[in-house]
Amino acid sequence: MNKDQVKGKAKEVSGKAKEKLGEARNDKEQQAKGKVEKTEGKVQKKYGDLKD
């Protein structure tokens, strides 16, 4: 596993947590930020997969 894979997965997990927190609080802005972060993490992880 390379650095981009690890950072990407961490960002994906963090984003998912923020998204779920937003759902629990009925906070649409928090949900959106979580989705964006989760997507960024997926992209970074895929980039790391390609490098590996």
> Tens digit of pLDDT for each residue in 7-42?
999 999 999 999 999 999 999 999 999 999 999 999
Contacts of 18 (CB under 8 A, 6+ apart): 30, 31, 33, 34, 37
What pLDDT score does 52 carry? 84
When computed from its CA atoms, the radius of gyration of the chain, rounded to whole angstroms, is 12
